[in-house]
Amino acid sequence: MKTFSLGFVFDASMERVLLIHKNRPDWQKGKLNGIGGKVEEGEDSLGCMVRETLEETGLRIDAKDWKHFAQIHDAYGLVAVYAAVYTGSPADAKNAEDQKVEWIVIQHLPTTVIKNLRWLIPAAVDKIGDASFKKIIVEY
């Protein structure tokens, strides 16, 4: 089974989330998604989250700053879902490779977001704001 990490980075005000205009894989092309990718051999999902964030956005977010709040098991594999707050300048986020990153106002998510982000992003906000929040386990 393939394993993946998906993460949402919020600005310090918790009003905006950093999303990526995806060009790949094909099923995501033209859509907005969180940061992440496939867990490589020898790394765990948290290590993948740290690596993918640096590769895709240029942001260095320590492993201790990520909150694991959901796990999704679907036809593609197992996805560990994380959230973090970036307290530096939003301008620090840079486009990587051929995919553009953009800070999006949470209250105005565009129609082009991957469908499950409409509930994953609010759940991530809840996890960051409430230490008693438990993980969400979803099986498709």
CATH number for the domain spanning 7: value is 3.90.79.10
Count up the domains in the chain and report the number: 1
11-57 pLDDT, tens digit each? 999 999 999 999 888 989 999 999 999 999 999 999 999 999 999 99
Alpha-carbon Rg for the chain in angstroms: 14
Domain hosting 22: range is: 3-139
- State the average pLDDT over residues 79-93: 97
The position carrying tokens 């496939």 is: 38
Q: Is the dihedral of CA 30, 33, 35, 40 positive or negative?
A: negative
pTM of the model: 0.94
